Structure 1
Amino acid sequence: MMSETGKLEEAMYTSTDELDRELHDQEHSQEMADLYAQSLQEIAEGEIVKGTVLEIRNEMVLIDIGYKSEGAVPIKEFLSPSGELTVKVGDVVDVYLEQKEDNDGLIVLSREKAEKTKVWDDIRLAYEQGEAISGMILGRTKGGLTVDIGVRAFLPGSQVDLRPVRDLDRLIGKSFPMKVIKLNQRRGNIVLSRRELLEEERRGLKDKTLQSLEEGKIIRGKVKNITEYGAFIDLGGLDGLLHITDMSWGRVGHPSELFTVGDEIEVVVLKFDRVAERVSLGHKQRLKDPWEDVDQRFPISSRIRGKVVSLTDYGAFVELAEGIEGLVHISEMSWTQRVKHPSKIVSVGDSIEIMVLDVDKVNKRISLGLRQIEPNPWLSIEESYPVGMRVEGTVRNLTDFGAFVELDEGIDGLIHVSDMSWTKRVRHPSEILKRGDKVEAVVLHTDKTNRRISLGLKQSQPDPWQSTVLDKYQVGMDVKAKVVRLTDFGAFVELEDGVEGLLHISELSHERVAKPEDVVSIDQEFSLKIIKLDANERKLGLSLRAYLDSQNATNKTTDQAPPDQHPSDPQGEELEAS
């Protein structure tokens, strides 16, 4: 058995250990209290802290942020738009410390405010450092667009692109990098610019492009804009002009026939002014000039096929190959037809056979002929219309000097005014013919070189001088005649149909006559005497005073004269031929 002394010593040791343990617990509790108090002093309400999800309840999510008690966040702040929970137990999340303790001793946290605060912090940092942030176009608003960058922001229409955008609606739903150019968190005002980023990017590309550009180099670019005279090509921060004349070796009516905005094409640097930053570009220069060997490909007198690509008043342009066109002049379209416009013969898009007439490599011109494909009817015109042949035709046109008669399609003959009547003096063809008349004529002459046929209308009828006048009339004969027209030198009278003679002013009276109308008038009938008859010249001269003299001699009456006939002294003027 333990002695009393041993028991006492054991009791002393036990009380000492318990005391030590009690003191240690007190010290630990105080240390923990101090640490907790210190930790609460290190954070402040309104800060964002990290926490671990401990438990998910029906209405809230408990989160441990490393302090004496847990924090509570409404569960709705962890739900997606579709209603799905976005966290699980153990996830570490950022939360906003709203209140250190509520009435229940819990720390009040907010996930939503943490996210918004973090977004504003990121926006402020991007604004201060001039960095880009990504935003999605939500919709249109007055003066521009609304953008989602975590919070709503405004993108003015002038800041959307380098050039004004007409259709802003097509951008809705798309995301772009942008730059914050104005920020006021208190008012919740954020203004963005996409244009500034594009300009910065363009300046960088421009410097790189300027260093690499040199004349003769082939580069790729994008069609940026199209005008009537050409297209502007974006070479990478620098625009170059592709003139319409340098787009194709062939004919280009408008640049839009070859390119559309947005096309990526290869171009050749033709000229480059580094100081003025001007670039002239060529597209056709990528290929060999088709005109270099055009005389070998299309020798003179060769027959080829081509496509009609354009019509003008003076002819038709025909594409012979890519970049090579020739002209069929209007005069080379038909041997016989008088072509007023090329559209009467060909149409745009027609495939036709033509003959090469001439090639000019220097001026890049090719003369073509369409009519040369067919035989020239004028080469055999003498066989088709021999002299003396009687032909029938239609009066196509009247001129001051004659009438054109169509004998066949494209073949006309001319009846000169002098070949219209044996006896009448025809001053204008309309006295004998009119357009559309069917006539019979005789071929008088053919000229295949100048493509002319001379016709005679009177030659198709018997010559009255041979059949009537010489047999029926003689000098000294008295005849009846009617005045048909007056001239300054006398009056023309008709003896019978087709037979006319001249009553000279000197043969009207023995007295001096100033004007024929002082003695005679149109349609007045007289008895006259034939005083001249020239078969070769086809002239018949008549005299009123000679007739009167003969009547006076017969009647031996010197002071009597028929009514309306007054003898007078001759004036000595010569008789002129009709």
Structure 2
Amino acid sequence: MSEEMNQVEVRNFEVGDRIKGQVTKVEEKQVIVNIEASKLDGIIPISELSSIHVEKANDVVAEGDELDLEVTKVEEDALILSKRKVDAEKAWDELEKKFVSGEVFEAEIKDVVKGGLVVDLGVRGFVPASLVEARFVEDFTDYKGRTLTFKIVELDKEKNRLILSHRAVIEEEKGKHKLDLLQTLHAGQVLDGTVQRITDFGAFVDIGGIDGLVHISQLSHEHVEKPSDVVEEGQKVRVKVLSVDRDNERISLSIKETLPGPWASIGEKAPKGSVLTGVVKRLVSYGAFVELYPGVEGLVHISQISHKHIATPHEVLKEGQEVQVKVLEVNEQDQRLSLSIKELEEKESEFPTDYELPEESKGFQLGEMIGDQLKNLKK
């Protein structure tokens, strides 16, 4: 077409007109399109191809693509066009609907920039670093090209501002899962979990999207001074559900209830007739309670403390004293042990050690007795 005819064709268009064009050539910094219903070509500068920064035009379009375009400038023999403006106008309408409804949608990460991620939704969408994940991420390099789910958290068409959040989607899903889990949990369940956080009063354990508290008294059968003495963050544990408060979303758990009790297999650890070392824990009028293993105490009845007659156990024992005992009876079911200290002590002589000679024998000397015997022999 002659230059004169081109000029005539061009004068048929005005800035703001919407047209359709087919890509005939993709250059590095611009795209040539043939305008529908005319023999006129138009030019799309690379800056007008997308709402986000583009390095090469062929990253966005290819030869043969049909495009909706807007005239941005009418030159003497050519039209300057924009794909970006048409895409943006269509996009804002759709984005406003998504924003109002809270819709969750997928989008590809087009670029990683300082402070966050960039998404092309017909307009430039920005995902601040704090809204990418529910956890801290140090390096977002490998996020480019990934497809994530998003919600729009801020939209201002006038300021061309669109803020997206993937974190909001994660937390919403977590919240739904938490509610579902709360409905299915019940006291008595035994579950696997992971220690998330340790406090002075216990440990919080994640049991699949929701945390429950293992109070310090439920960490072990033994006395625990500090929770960190028996568990650590990240540790896999087995827990039993003690109670579920759905209204306040509180779950009480126990690790202790999943562990063998201190009395389990006590018949093997302290069989009848065995001799063990223990510590006197309590003294009562009828005997002494001796701890053989953590959480396992046996009774030494007052009659089994000593061969001597004693009025109270306090006469020969004191709390905290280490003693040797013999196991007399074992009752694992009733958690009872009968012990004896007396059986390990030698019986005292049948004769009293403080025996005195009769009064009439006192003052009698050994030499005198021998002398008398000698006199009798001479006779």
TM-score between the two structures when normalised by the length of structure 2: 0.55
> What is the CA distance between 1:300 and its match in structure 2?
5.8
TM-aligned CA distance change 1:256 to 1:76, over 3 Å: same
Q: Does the 8 A contact of 1:61 with 1:74 survive in 2?
A: yes
- State the alpha-carbon separation in 1 of the partners of residues 60 and 44 from structure 2: 12
> What is the CA distance between 1:196 and its match in structure 2?
4.3
SS class of match (1:170): coil
- State the alpha-carbon separation in 2 of the partners of residues 291 and 239 from structure 1: 31
Q: What is the match of residue 74 of structure 1?
A: 45
Matches within 5 A, 1:339-378: none
> What is the CA distance between 1:282 and its match in structure 2?
2.0
- State the alpha-carbon separation in 2 of the partners of residues 325 and 248 from structure 1: 14
Matches within 5 A, 1:111-510: 111-113=83-85, 120=92, 123-133=95-105, 146-150=116-120, 151=124, 153=126, 155=128, 168=136, 170=138, 172-173=140-141, 177-193=149-165, 196-235=168-207, 238-250=210-222, 252-257=224-229, 259-262=231-234, 265-299=237-271, 302=274, 331-332=321-322
Letter in 2 for 1:302: S
Is 1:104 the equivalent of 2:77?
Answer: yes
Structure of larger gyration radius: 1
Deviations along 1:31-65, whole A, 9 cap, x unmatched? xxxxx99x979xx8375x76432123565322235
Letter in 2 for 1:332: E
TM-aligned CA distance change 1:332 to 1:45, over 3 Å: same
Q: Does the 8 A contact of 1:180 with 1:190 survive in 2?
A: yes
Number of residue pairs matched? Answer: 296
Q: What is the match of residue 281 of structure 2?
A: none
Deviations along 1:5-42, whole A, 9 cap, x unmatched? xxxxxxxxxxxxxxxxxxxxxxxxxxxxxxx99x979x
Is 1:52 the equivalent of 2:7?
Answer: no
Q: What is the match of residue 65 of structure 2?
A: 92
SS class of match (2:183): helix
Q: CA RMSD in A?
A: 5.3
TM-score between the two structures when normalised by the length of structure 1: 0.39
Deviations along 1:83-105, whole A, 9 cap, x unmatched? 58436754426454233743214
Unmatched segments (≥5 aa) in structure 1: 1-35, 307-316, 335-353, 380-444, 447-578
Q: Does the 8 A contact of 1:250 with 1:325 survive in 2?
A: no
Letter in 2 for 1:52: Q
SS class of match (1:97): strand
Deviations along 1:216-244, whole A, 9 cap, x unmatched? 12334444432122222344564322223
Deviations along 1:293-352, whole A, 9 cap, x unmatched? 31443236636899xxxxxxxxxx99x7xx87789x863289xxxxxxxxxxxxxxxxxx
SS class of match (2:71): strand
Unmatched segments (≥5 aa) in structure 2: 1-8, 279-290, 299-318, 347-352, 355-379
TM-aligned CA distance change 1:89 to 1:214, over 3 Å: closer
Letter in 2 for 1:71: G
TM-aligned CA distance change 1:299 to 1:277, over 3 Å: same
Letter in 1 for 2:24: L
- State the alpha-carbon separation in 1 of the partners of residues 70 and 326 from structure 2: 94
SS class of match (1:149): strand
TM-aligned CA distance change 1:56 to 1:146, over 3 Å: closer
SS class of match (1:289): coil
Deviations along 1:123-168, whole A, 9 cap, x unmatched? 434313212355869577xxxx5442333536496x7777xx7xx5
SS class of match (2:37): coil
- State the alpha-carbon separation in 1 of the partners of residues 132 and 334 from structure 2: 49
Is 1:61 the equivalent of 2:51?
Answer: no
TM-aligned CA distance change 1:302 to 1:262, over 3 Å: same
Q: Does the 8 A contact of 2:46 with 2:54 survive in 1?
A: no
- State the alpha-carbon separation in 1 of the partners of residues 327 and 37 from structure 2: 100
Percentage of identical aligned residues:
26
SS class of match (2:263): coil
Q: What is the match of residue 307 of structure 2?
A: none
Q: Does the 8 A contact of 2:30 with 2:43 survive in 1?
A: yes
TM-aligned CA distance change 1:206 to 1:184, over 3 Å: same
Letter in 2 for 1:132: V
Letter in 2 for 1:131: E
> What is the CA distance between 1:205 and its match in structure 2?
1.7
- State the alpha-carbon separation in 2 of the partners of residues 139 and 258 from structure 1: 44
TM-aligned CA distance change 1:262 to 1:197, over 3 Å: farther
> What is the CA distance between 1:174 and its match in structure 2?
7.2
Larger RCO (CA under 8 A, 6+ residues apart)? 2
Q: Does the 8 A contact of 1:139 with 1:169 survive in 2?
A: no
Letter in 2 for 1:102: E
